[in-house]
A = this chain, B = another copy of it.
Amino acid sequence: MLIVAERINSSRKKISEAIQAKDADFIRGEAKAQAEAGADYIDVNAGSFVGQEAEYLCWLVEIVQEATELPLCLDSPDPAALAAALELVKGPCMLNSITLEKQRLAGMLPLVKKYRTKIIALCQSDEGMANTVEEKVSVAKELIETLTKEGVALDDIYIDPLIYPIATDTKSAVAALGAIREIMQLFPGVHTIAGLTNVSFGLPVRKLINRTFLVAAMAHGLDSAIIDPTDRELMASLVAAEVVLDRDKFCAGYITAYREGKLA
């Protein structure tokens, strides 16, 4: 399971405050904690600072690279902010995210190609966000065709089916799950990725819904997730799901997590 660690996001109050205060220690601490908890990529987002996003995103890139050698996931819909940040990135990188919207695609694709980044591609087009399994798979297909035609390797594409709150539409999680299964079957080699925070919006005990959805999504083939790896119960569910789904050779990852006290 590829884990994109989501905590360094300016939509979180503490992160926003730390960015404004240029509190590098706090950001480094967040990066290190997520790296130690099992992150594969560290997401960095300064999207809530309109007009200053590029500046703050660049600052985050530099600070996080001081704290960890893990690759970054640059999280912005703004090609200008990404272009500035990409100049500072050492090593491989992931962009979060592209869509099928013409303008966004046109702005982002040159960066994906120039920097040979991995790319998160949302099931969203100029017609709006895809809701049903059929819509999600259809947009995914077009995204994959468009990206591979431009020379992007299938292995660098992470399709996000988009997860909406169950509380407002009880079919929304099932639609995402069905799309994940179909996309993984139709395009062997591509990846699917999902954030979990939306799914439980409006329901109590949200973390229980989040980790249950994660297991269900992994059971449908999801191989990447945008999560908070410092959430111990979530990570325990993830590690256990790897065992149940025969993705953890000799149960070695599970046994290691147990010995490190991460399952209790």
CB within 8 Å of B: which residues of A? 166-167, 170-171, 173-174, 177, 199, 203-205, 208-209, 212-213, 215-216, 218-220, 236-237, 240-241, 243-246, 248-251, 254-255, 258, 263-264
User: Is B174 a contact of A258 with CB atoms below 8 Å?
Assistant: no
Within the complex, which residue of B203, B219, B258, B263 is in contact with A243, where a contact is CB–CB below 8 Å?
Answer: B203
User: Which of A177, A213, A215, A248 has the most B CB atoms < 10 Å from its CB?
Assistant: A215
- By beta carbon, the residue of chain B nearest A167 is B251
**Besides A204-B254, A212-B244, 4 new A-B residue pairs in contact (Cβ under 8 A), listed by A number:** A174-B245, A205-B258, A215-B215, A216-B245
List residues of chain B with CB within 8 A of the CB of A171.
Answer: 246
**Closest Cβ neighbor of A262 among chain B residues:** B205
Is B209 a contact partner of A219 (Cβ separation < 8 A)? no
Pair B246/A174 contact, Cβ less than 8 Å? yes
Assembly CA distance A244 to B218 (angstroms)? 13
A243 touches B205 (CB 8 A): no
Closest 9 CB pairs of A and B: A212-B240, A216-B219, A219-B219, A215-B215, A205-B263, A174-B246, A204-B258, A213-B244, A173-B244
Question: Can you name the residue of chain B whose Cβ is closest to the Cβ of A173?
Answer: B244
The smallest beta-carbon distance between A194 and chain B, in angstroms, is 12
On chain B, the residues within 8 Å of A254 by CB distance are 203-204
Q: Is the CB–CB distance between A250 and B204 below 8 Å?
A: no
A263 to B18, CA, bound (A): 34
> What separation, in Å, do the CA atoms of A244 and B237 have in the docked complex?
15
A251: contacting residue among B166, B219, B220, B236, CB under 8 A: B166
